[in-house]
Structure 1
Amino acid sequence: MKQSLWSSTLSCSAVHSKLERWLPPQRSTAGFLLPPHRHTLFTSSQHSDRIVKNQSCNPTNLPMSQVQTPPGVTITCAVEAGHLAILTPDALKFLATLHRYFEPTRRSLLQRRQLEQARLDAGGLPNFHSETKWIRDNLAWQAASPAPGLQDRRVEITGPVDRKMVINALNSGAATFMADFEDSHAPTWLNNLDGQINMRDAVRRQISFKAPNGKDYKLNDRIATLIVRARGWHLDEPHLLVDGQPISGGIFDFGLYFFHNAKECIKMGFGPYFYLPKMEHYLEARLWNDIFKVSQDYIHMPRGTIRATCLIETIPAAFQMDEFIFELKEHSSGLNCGRWDYIFSFIKKMRHNPQFVLPDRSDVTMTVPFMDAYVRLLIKTCHSRGVAAMGGMSAQIPIKDNPKANEAAINKVKADKLREVKAGHDGTWVAHPALVKVALDIFNENMVGPNQYHVRRSEVQVTALDLLNTNVPGKITEHGIRENISAALQYCANWITGFGCVPIANLMEDAATAEIARLQIWQWVRHGSMTDAHKKITAEWIDQILEEETAQAKKTTAKGLNPAKVDIAQRYLSSQAHAPVPDDFLTSALMTSLDDMAAPNRPKL
């Protein structure tokens, strides 16, 4: 039997009472008793330079407000008056409770990741876990049946929590909308809190927006079901400290949304639904499940009300699909092929093994052996457990000034969606409202009913070797190198400016593309790869191309790209090309360069 942090016999009220009583006294990470905290009023003068290094929280142009914080909770940035409705004492107390109970487990799981990476660096290979074979082999168990609003997910639109984009996505005609606090979101303090305001208003169908040109944006009568993606376990929220420690970014995103909106979601006919990114071990899914149980108990909500879809976007997760569903079980709503991050993870995890060097990014398609095996296994696993098997992202955006190029892009989307629905996927992702009908038509023509749970794919037998088969046709070209450098440079410069969703080369890119590009550059340098023109790829050559691409990127400054931000991105990517080991995530490495108070193109709250 799996061990949980909470006994199944503990009643809802008992858990709530236990949580309330636990708060004092507090202990430091070293185990010493901490002095009792007084109820404090935070002002910007209490900015913590020790935790938030090199970040500007200067509120000179912002209306400042004081926040009443519970004992042990510190806010290290200015707070606008419009955000007081989110940072309430009760909401902060809830976040502190989750942090105090679950932060040690999160830290332990992050350490486990490092141990696994060391094993792979030493020549080990990913494999299915022997201790969970009984879970995979037992065909009798099923996850929960679909929750309201999640039976039909044939097209999901994704995007950041920007106010106008939220309205457009909800009105797009898609079945569901994944509002993203993760890869398409730059987690500045203002962006994070604006996003929570936008989620609150969207849940209550009160969201509206007036553009500078006077155009009004409001919700239609019929809108998509809302799903929220929180940040991954590896990311902190440095602006909210509990007992001197930064809170988990994922708990911050989840906790504020859940606390303020869970019961309102039920009133509106759906529920508190989530996407869970970048997990690498089934124990990380168990941690989310324990958080879900405690959170529901805390507000006296029945367990199983929350539903969560796991993104299978790391190579370790591909070997634990059954386990992820099993751990979430009553809270599971399926798995998703997070294909771009999956390629990034594949390169990162196998970084020192020359057998896993990949060709140009454009050659690593969904039909190459290791990607095809991953898709087939995901569909088979989900349908055997009665949950949704979601397809991947199409990032194309309309090319308004080139009809021929636009038609070619649309045809690529159609081919991609046809492959997905024929494989047995229950739905797919698009990044732009203009693609919703394109994808919807393909699924409507080829899928009978709201989903394809009946497509069991019993003939599929995927082995560990299949998931690691890098027999990928293609080559490394100078064009591919330049594409990677250009995409990574533009994205990093935009991200530290406050934009997490960036149009590049007629694609709506998020952090996943920049991560693949960054890791491929590092991998090719690390292994001394040769281009198809027989030129060795060196860090010095990468620096030369970076100089050229930086000069090109700075020509876009008239459109708002700050040259200083481009220089930061250039220095970062150069450091990565020269590094003996790449950073785990650029979004972690660049946090100290992110402008805390940036909120580009925001409406005034």
Structure 2
Amino acid sequence: MSAPPIENQKLSLQIIGKVTAEFATILTTSALAFVEDLVKQFTPHRDELLARRLERQQQIDVGQLPDFFPATAHIRQDNWQVGPTPADLQDRRVEITGPVDRKMIINALNSGAKVFLADFEDAQSPTWSGLIEGQINLRDAVNQVIEYHSPEGKRYQLNSQTATLLVRPRGWHLPEKHMLWQGKPIPGALMDFGLYFFHNAHTLITKGSGPYFYLPKLESHLEARLWNDIFNYAQDALEIPRGTIKATVLIETILGAFEMEEMLYELREHCVGLNCGRWDYIFSFIKRFHKYPDFVLPGREQITMTSHFLRSYSQKVIQVCHRRGAHAMGGMAAQIPIKNDPQANEMALTKVRADKEREAKDGHDGTWVAHPGLVPIAVEIFNKYMPQPNQKDRQLETIDITAKDLLTLPTGNITEAGLRNNISAALQYLEAWLGGNGCVPINNLMEDAATAEIARAQLWQWIHYPKGVLNDGRKITVDLVRQTIHQELESIRNQVGEPRYQAGHYPLAAKLLEQITTQDEFAEFLTLVAYEHLP
């Protein structure tokens, strides 16, 4: 479909968030008209696809386990390739991710990583001010005028050589309550994508790069097709050649794993790769099978990428991508260097090295880290095992990955320490998220929303099913979880001190965590429940 001109339109979008003079440079009439066009054209289809998710969940609930669709077998069997990969995305050996705050953007672009993923989704608490300031920060970064002056007087600015910028808009399920159309919140994804694309696409192209994106939490090839339609519409509207937008799809849902090849196909003119979003993938696994008493997972610390279902999914990503000429990106190393404990630091870095060596040897074309301190380690490993820009020529055709492989349950047990860690991590993350921070250091790991989602999902699962038993024989009950929430909350209070506790959102975090883990119904997303409490 062709897009109407965006000039001289009477806007029907309603902005109910504050619009400062600085915010107005992003929320221009032309930019809002562009976003409104996207909203009008694509929100009804987005709503239909979310309804299909519910229908699919109902099918799973009554015993219809996912499998590869016979109806799309021709796509998996036919000979086709994705479109060409731009020069600045050929080498993606190490990518760093983080929220869209000003200091983070500068440090990440300067980190030595090949790519920086600026995240409006899991690493960003979606406060109105944080989102619009993020758009300002990205615009300034694209125009190479971004600076940051710390309270201590330190000045941050871009180096002459920086990482390639990719942006992750919010998932289809997340609304933007500060921007209304027909009285209802618009899809957050359309705001994030629309504002960034409108303000930066032409500038990026003139600089020899382009508007590049990561697409989160897709559950079907139809959801990928929607993004492809949006890309074509947006490019037409700004008179940009189709295929200029390039995207990488995060395979971070169990249903998406069964349609990854079809997703590539739907986006083939625009897609350059798939990524193993493994923490959200674990959460999705629990969520989609939450009605299955036998699908109770062990403590999350025991669910590693060597678990059969995760290793299989990782290899499937490599197999599909390399068959189709796309990059197969590995998963996240969330470790933070531990400066005051050399022994603990070396133990953590040993885990990082083993994880990255496995990815490089298996055939991944790159990997993720959450902290600049891990960039040199990941670069060194991929340089060793992948001296060329990528290894898309490596094929895994001899490996046959079946539905059974993707659905094999990991083994392990549930410990009291694991129970407490889930509760403490969820409390600390949720408190920070409610305060506007979506990327939080917890126990020497840089955590985002996926960690809190896994933690609370496991707590719900352990409470509701007979297999939710600690290794000392105690059944995990509502009373035990409530008691442990209060104990961990008190422990956090002692750690952070009374002033920080009183100034924070700890009681609300505890209330929401207790509510979402003990109620009868499994909540689809913790962030949707908590979003009601954000300014």
TM-score normalised to the size of structure 1?
Answer: 0.87
1:506 counterpart residue number: 444
Change in CA separation of 1:194 and 1:365 when aligned onto 2, cut-off 3 Å: same
Paired with 1:181 and 1:115, the residues of 2 have a C-alpha distance of 28
Instruction: Judge which range, 216-225 or 242-251, deviates more.
Output: 242-251
1:300 to 228, 239, 242: 239
Which secondary structure does the structure 2 equivalent of 1:458 belong to? Answer: coil
How far residue 167 of structure 1 moved from its aligned partner, in angstroms, is 0.3
Paired with 2:364 and 2:452, the residues of 1 have a C-alpha distance of 27
Structure showing greater radius of gyration is 1
2:418 counterpart residue number: 480
1:77 counterpart residue number: 17
Output aligned runs, 1:518-529, within 5 Å. 518-528=456-466, 529=468
Q: Report if the CA contact (8 A) 1:275-1:309 is conserved.
A: yes
Q: Which runs of 5+ in 2 are unaligned?
A: none
Q: How many residues align?
A: 533
Q: Does 1:349 align with 2:288?
A: yes
Q: Which runs of 5+ in 1 are unaligned?
A: 1-5, 7-14, 24-69, 597-605
How far residue 554 of structure 1 moved from its aligned partner, in angstroms, is 2.1
Q: Report if the CA contact (8 A) 2:114-2:163 is conserved.
A: yes
Q: Does 1:175 align with 2:162?
A: no
Paired with 1:157 and 1:259, the residues of 2 have a C-alpha distance of 24
Q: Report if the CA contact (8 A) 2:11-2:36 is conserved.
A: no
Paired with 1:412 and 1:348, the residues of 2 have a C-alpha distance of 27
How far residue 458 of structure 1 moved from its aligned partner, in angstroms, is 1.0
1:333 to 250, 267, 272: 272
2:378 counterpart residue number: 439
2:429 to 491, 498, 513: 491
Q: Report if the CA contact (8 A) 1:369-1:466 is conserved.
A: yes
Q: Does 1:16 align with 2:6?
A: no
2:31 counterpart residue number: 91
How far residue 81 of structure 1 moved from its aligned partner, in angstroms, is 1.2
1:430 counterpart residue number: 369
TM-score normalised to the size of structure 2?
Answer: 0.98
2:507 counterpart residue number: 567
Which secondary structure does the structure 1 equivalent of 2:469 belong to? Answer: coil
Paired with 1:281 and 1:421, the residues of 2 have a C-alpha distance of 28
Which secondary structure does the structure 2 equivalent of 1:81 belong to? Answer: coil
1:205 to 138, 144, 158: 144
Instruction: Judge which range, 347-356 or 165-174, deviates more.
Output: 347-356
Paired with 1:252 and 1:191, the residues of 2 have a C-alpha distance of 13
Q: Deviations over 1:163-203 (max 9, x none)?
A: 00100000000000000000000010100000000000011
Which secondary structure does the structure 2 equivalent of 1:329 belong to? Answer: coil
Q: Deviations over 1:510-552 (max 9, x none)?
A: 0000000000000011103211100001011000000001111
Q: Deviations over 1:26-69 (max 9, x none)?
A: xxxxxxxxxxxxxxxxxxxxxxxxxxxxxxxxxxxxxxxxxxxx
Which secondary structure does the structure 1 equivalent of 2:275 belong to? Answer: strand
How far residue 450 of structure 1 moved from its aligned partner, in angstroms, is 0.3
Aligned-residue CA RMSD (Å): 1.3
Q: Does 1:515 align with 2:453?
A: yes
1:547 counterpart residue number: 486
2:300 counterpart residue number: 361
Paired with 1:545 and 1:558, the residues of 2 have a C-alpha distance of 20
Instruction: Judge which range, 437-446 or 352-361, deviates more.
Output: 352-361
1:323 counterpart residue number: 262
Instruction: Judge which range, 187-196 or 124-133, deviates more.
Output: 124-133
How far residue 339 of structure 1 moved from its aligned partner, in angstroms, is 0.2
Which residue identity is paired with 1:227? L
Q: Deviations over 1:356-376 (max 9, x none)?
A: 111010111101111111011
Q: Deviations over 1:268-288 (max 9, x none)?
A: 211000000001111000000
Q: Does 1:577 align with 2:487?
A: no
Paired with 1:413 and 1:392, the residues of 2 have a C-alpha distance of 11
How far residue 557 of structure 1 moved from its aligned partner, in angstroms, is 4.5
Q: Report if the CA contact (8 A) 1:148-1:271 is conserved.
A: no
Paired with 1:398 and 1:377, the residues of 2 have a C-alpha distance of 31
Q: Does 1:130 align with 2:70?
A: yes
Q: Report if the CA contact (8 A) 1:230-1:253 is conserved.
A: yes
